[in-house]
Structure 1
Amino acid sequence: MLAYIIGVVLFALGICVSVALHEAGHMVTAKAFGMKVRRYFVGFGPTVFSFRRGETEYGLKWIPLGGFCDIAGMTALDEVTPDEAPRAMWRFKTWKRTVVMSAGSITHFILGFVVLYLMAVTMGLPNLTPVDTSPVLSATSCARSATTEAQAQDTSCPPGAPRPAEAAGLRAGDKVLAVGGKPVASWTEMLAAVQATKGRTVFDIQRGDQRLALVVDVPQVQRWTSAGVKEVGMIGASPQQPAVTTQYGPVAAIGATFSFTGTMFAETAQRLVEFPERIPAVVTAIFGGERDPNTPVSVVGASRIGGEAVERGIWVLFFFLLASLNFFIGVFNLLPLLPLDGGHIAVVWYERVRDWIRGLRGKAAGGPVDYTRLSGITMVLVLIGGAVTLLTVTADIVNPIRLQ
């Protein structure tokens, strides 16, 4: 239990640090371009402490959920003092404002990459792509009928059950080259060949430097499948499982991490596309339905999974989740919706394109976008976001996703 609590706290702390650095990304780039940063605070609520260095106030607040960076004049509607007006953010060039507003997401991407790189050179990167295992035996067992899903998942052997592979002399570590004269290159191919076989069959085996021909008396048994119960051949053998992670050297890890990051970006984009259609499943889970492991989770849910990972000693999963969450937050924050940073970037580039078109038509540049006209849409999006957050937090409390 203590390990679980430590895991939850560590994961929550990791999220808080990520969000704090997100805001630091805005602050550092804004200062680099000469914009005035009034305040940089970690957390929300009452102030624990603060101090001023130069023109910026830094501090910590009691609720460690995020933080904020107050840049003078982020929009033309923001109130600024006379001395702040020349350095108001909205007066700067489009590309500079874009860099500042995207810096938070870029920070998340950098953090995710660093976490994955450190994983690659220490504990290894998870193998995300399913790989068909080589036709190498890890162990022999029995051949028995199983007419239900529960029976099929049961790996125990009843007394007296036939052991065809063992009886023929097959051993752990043997690689099957051919079944009945038909070459096989993967465990899936070998399994299909065995299931289509009956009676005495020659198996070509590679055992170390030796090549052997062993005769297996393959019995036909009834086995449950998703398509129903079928009669298939079975020898009683299990495959060697591929490595869960792959470790790299310091140099090779750079390319591997870039490749892995690309895969994670693709997965994140797919998750965002599927996000709306998975919300009904969250509601179902709240009212007692089975929780789909692919449904969205909140910070609460992610922290609970992180705690379980630490409790079981699965640190690879803990850091993978932390990197995944950074990528998700980074991509999500760039969506062209207010009040997200991506929404502000969209408005900035709308102004830029609009003024370019006006210039082609011989007209003067238009003024800054009136954000009050977008307040209705912004409020709707905030309410939707709040509702989704409430649903996922509730589901993660009453019916959380758990490690299998």
Structure 2
Amino acid sequence: MGAYLLGVVLFALGIAVTIALHEAGHMFTARAFGMRVRRYFIGFGPTVWSVKRGHTTYGVAALPFGGFCDIAGMTAQDPVTAEEAPHAMVNKPWWQRVAVLSGGVIMNMIVGVLIIYGLAVTSGLPNPHVDTTPTVGEVSCVSDQTGPETLADCTGTGPAGEAGVLVGDRIVALDGEPVESFVQLRDTVLGKPGEDVVFTVERDGRTLDVTVPVAPVTRLDTAGNPVTAGAVGLSSAPLENLWVSYGPVAAVGATAAFTGDLFEATVRGLASFPAKIPGVVASIFGAERDMEGPMSVVGASRVGGELVERSLWNMFWMMLASLNFFLALFNLVPLPPLDGGHIAVVLWEKVRDFFRRLRGLAPAGPANYEKLLPITYAMAALLLTVGMLVIVADVVNPVRLFG
């Protein structure tokens, strides 16, 4: 329990640092271009602690669900004093405004890459060439499930052992269909209670087919209800060479390749995010929780606790890197109040003024953000609602990696 709580606290701290660095990216970039940073806060709501240094007030607020960097004159509707006017963001060139608005995203990308590089030269990165072909580690009897983590007593070698499957066999196909992982094999067998299946196995350099009767057994679903599933009595041998460590130079290429894969997976996850919200709501009322669905700070910290409890520190850090990539991409969504929404407004001003010049007109000046307030409020309300739903789901029906 101590290791679990340590992991929860450390991952929550990692999230806080991620948010702090995101906002710091805005702050550092703004200062580099001579803009005035009024406030730099982690969290929202009532102030817990604050201190003023120069023109900037640094602080921590009560609700640790984000943060903000208040830059003078972020919009034309933001009042500035005569002293602040030369340093107001809205009075700076458009490309500097875009750079500042992108500063948090760039910071998160840098943090994610640095974490991956650190893993590459220490504990290693997942081996892209690992052989995941199911290899039999044990044959055993099968029995009904009697509790969340208990099975009834049984004897014998089970259906697979009785049919002739041996420890060390590599299972390359099931009913003629290629099998790439033990999870695929398990899921297929679960859905065939009472049927015969043909295992194609490699043994001592030979390939042979073994017909195995799938025994119908009782299993408990996520709600604790008994269901009939298939079982053959096999367990997988541990995969070998799962992780590969690199030297400082070789790690650069490995980091770039793995970052590309993780970035692509993050894009897919972000694209599927809206479609997964109904499943999150259903899980609040007892439906099975999607392992790849969205998680809140609460859920992610609980998973971090599970990883530390099992000393899976490489997965812990990899999840934190993935969080940085997700935060970066999510903030690029071109809707206010996200960074991408503000960037879209600045680019719209630039395009608008280009066409005005073609017509012989002067630039129209900064956009009127008051016209965007309905979209901003609606988006903020939506984000808050979705965030609260995910938090509730993470409390009543959390994602559990290890059952």
Q: TM-score range by the shorter chain?
A: 0.7 to 0.9
1:301 corresponding residue in structure 2: 299
Instruction: Tell me: CA distance 1:185–1:391, structure 2 relative to 1, closer, same or farther (3 Å).
Output: closer
Which sections of structure 1, spanning at least 5 residues, go unmatched? 149-153, 178-183, 207-212
Matched, 1:220 2:211: yes
Q: Give CA-to-partner distance per residue, 1:16-40, whole Å, 9 cap, x none.
A: 1111111111111111111111222
Are the counterparts in 2 of residues 187 and 239 from structure 1 also a CA contact under 8 Å? Answer: no
Q: How does 1:176-325 map to 2 (within 5 A)?
A: 205=204, 220-223=211-214, 241-325=239-323
* Structure 1 residues 280 and 64: CA distance shift in structure 2, 3 A: closer
* Residue in structure 1 matched with residue 109 of structure 2 by the alignment: 109
Deviation at 1:391, TM superposition (A): 0.5
Q: Among 359, 362, 369, which residue is 1:361 paired with?
A: 359
Deviation at 1:76, TM superposition (A): 0.9
Report the residue type matching 2:156 in the other structure: P
Paired residue for 2:378?
Answer: 380
Q: When the two structures are aligned, how many residues end up with a matched partner?
A: 370
Which residue does 2:343 correspond to in 1? 345
Aligned sequence identity (%): 48
Larger radius of gyration: 1
Match of 1:94? 94
Superposed CA deviations along residues 208-239 of structure 1, whole A, max 9, x for unmatched, are xxxxx79x8x76331379xx999xxx998966
Q: CA deviation at 1:403?
A: 1.4
- Distance change >3 Å, CA 79–CA 244, structure 1 → 2: same
Question: How far did 1:157 drift?
Answer: 8.6
Q: 1: distance between equivalents of 2:181 and 2:332?
A: 43
Q: Which amino acid aligns with 1:133?
A: T
Asked whether 1:328 is paired with 2:329, we answer: no
The answer (yes or no) to whether the contact 1:94–1:348 under 8 Å persists in 2 is yes
The offset of 1:313, in angstroms, is 1.6
Q: What is the Cα deviation at residue 176 of structure 1?
A: 10
Deviation at 1:258, TM superposition (A): 1.2
Q: 1:337 to 1:197 in 2, by over 3 A?
A: closer
Q: How far apart in 1 are the matches of 2:41 and 2:93? A: 26
Deviation at 1:159, TM superposition (A): 2.9
Deviations 1:176-215 (A, max 9, x none): 99xxxxxx99899xx9xxx7689xx9x7736xxxxxx79x
Tell me the amino acid that sits aligned with residue 394 of structure 1. V
Q: How many Å apart are 1:41 and its aligned residue?
A: 2.9
Displacement of 1:134 in angstroms is 5.6
Output the CA distance in 2 between the equivalents of 1:235 and 1:13: 42
* Mapped pair 1:133 → 2:150: no
Residues 93/186 of structure 1: CA separation in 2 closer, same or farther (3 Å cut): closer
Give the direction of change, closer, same or farther, for the CA distance of 1:355–1:132 in structure 2 (3 Å limit).
Answer: same
Q: Which residue of 1 aligns with 2:5?
A: 5
Instruction: Output the amino acid matched with 1:92.
Output: K
- Equivalent residue of 1:249, what SS? coil
Separation in 1 of the partners of 2:312 and 2:381?
37
Quote the offset at 1:67 in angstroms. 2.9
Name the SS of the counterpart of 1:400 in structure 2.
coil
Q: For the residues of structure 2 that align with 1:381 and 1:187, how far apart are their CA atoms? A: 41
8 Å contact from structure 1 (residues 73, 90) kept in 2: yes
Q: Distance in 2 between matches of 1:186 and 1:398?
A: 34
Aligned residue for 1:297, secondary structure, equals: coil
In the alignment, the residues of structure 1 paired with residue 32 and residue 120 of structure 2 have an alpha-carbon distance, to the nearest angstrom, of 33
SS of the aligned residue for 2:279 comes to helix
The answer to whether the 8 Å contact 1:7/1:307 transfers is yes
Query: Partner of 1:296: helix, strand, or coil?
Result: coil
Q: Unaligned 5+ residue runs, structure 2?
A: 146-150, 173-177, 186-196, 217-227
Looking at structure 1, the residues matched to 296 and 142 of structure 2 have their Cα atoms a distance apart, in angstroms, of: 43
**Distance across 1 between alignment mates of 2:78 and 2:142:** 73
CA deviations over 1:294-313 (Å, ceiling 9, x no partner): 22111111111111111122
The answer as to whether partners of 2:37 and 2:69 remain within 8 angstroms in 1 is: yes
**Distance apart, 1:14 and its partner CA:** 0.7
Report the TM-score when normalising by structure 2: 0.79
